[in-house]
Amino acid sequence: MFTKKDIPYLILGLLAIMMTVLVVRCVCGKTLKEKMTDEHLVFFYADWCGYCKQFKPQVEQYKGIPIEYIDCTQPAEKERSLMKEYSVSGFPALFYKSETKVVTFNKPRSTQGIEEFVSECRSS
């Protein structure tokens, strides 16, 4: 299948793939880190929750700022850590996050409610 002459080319090919993966990880990691410092919404939901099923389409319709979706249906360590960080005790839970503050959603569960909430968070 492969001969001894092919080994240097195989090694070069593998190195090229590894370098590509490293570059992509570095760029994506930096982009994600930068995104996390900008204002965005954090939406915690669970597929089994009836209120989440009603509210999630409203959240998805909102296009004002980026939204980070945290699926807590079967939370792994990352989701549990975020739930603890945001003190999530029930679902759905929506938060506004910026560099300087985190605010808990306190409006009607609608796209208009989200718009009002974000507007108030920005002005306070």
Question: pTM to 2 decimals?
Answer: 0.70
- C-alpha closest to that of 48 among 68, 74, 70, 67: 74
Q: Where are the domains of the chain?
A: 4-34, 38-123
| 105 touches 77 (CB < 8 A) | no
Superfamily of domain 38-123: Glutaredoxin (3.40.30.10)
Closest CA to 39 of 103, 83, 88: 103
On the CB side of 25, CA atoms within 13 Å amount to 6
pLDDT per residue, tens digit, the chain (124 aa), is 768 887 777 677 667 777 665 444 444 454 444 555 589 999 999 999 999 999 999 999 999 999 999 999 999 999 999 999 999 999 999 999 999 999 999 999 999 999 999 999 999 8
